[in-house]
Amino acid sequence: MPRIERDPVLNYRPGPASELPLSEGEPVLAVFPADRRRYWSDHAAMSGVGVAACILILPFFGKADQILIASAGVIAAIFARGAFLASEAFARRWQLTDRRLIGPQGRQVMLLEIETVRRLMGDVQVVTKDGAKHLIKHLADSQAVLTEILDARDARAKVVTE
């Protein structure tokens, strides 16, 4: 009888164990964890968009009498999603060092490869020179994170050119 092998994807556990190790002498300048308040306000905003969609779409299909039930369903579904994914979202973090940005699941971005850093609501998107995009989600202060990343990139560029 053939043996069934477990898929290694199922072994993934979020958190520090899934991050790449630091190099010798590589200091951590900042850590960017998910913010609980921002996480739930993002879910409240998603609920608001869902309720607005119910209000706009259901009358178009002649179901205006079901807006209240549909809205309650949307809110319950978004809350359930948030509760189910919360432990994973809060276990993920990004670390900024003097050389790179280290993310969850083995992701990393070398500072000199960063082309663009932009805010997307409460998140920060990092775009590399080759077009790879990374999203740092649910930040308490996305502007401060954006500034720290850009300052670290500029400092690294000065070290390399000297």
If asked whether residues 113 and 152 sit together in one domain, one would say yes
In a domain, 108, yes or no: yes
Q: Is 3 helix (H, G, I), strand (E, B) or coil?
A: coil
Q: pLDDT per residue over 55-92, tens digit each?
A: 999 999 999 999 999 999 999 999 999 999 998 889 88
- pLDDT > 70 in the chain, percent: 96
What's the rounded mean pLDDT across residues 101-111?
A: 90
Range of the domain at 146: 25-34+92-161
54 membership: H or E segment, kind and range: helix 36-57
Candidates 108, 105, 129; CA nearest to 117 is 129
| Domain termination site, one of 72, 87, 102 | 87
Please tell me the predicted confidence (pLDDT) of residue 144.
95
If asked whether residues 114 and 140 sit together in one domain, one would say yes
Q: Give the CATH number for residue 138.
A: 2.30.29.30
CA 27 and chain centroid, separation: 23
Structural domains counted in the chain: 2
Q: pLDDT per residue over 113-135, tens digit each?
A: 999 999 998 899 999 999 999 99
In a domain, 15, yes or no: no
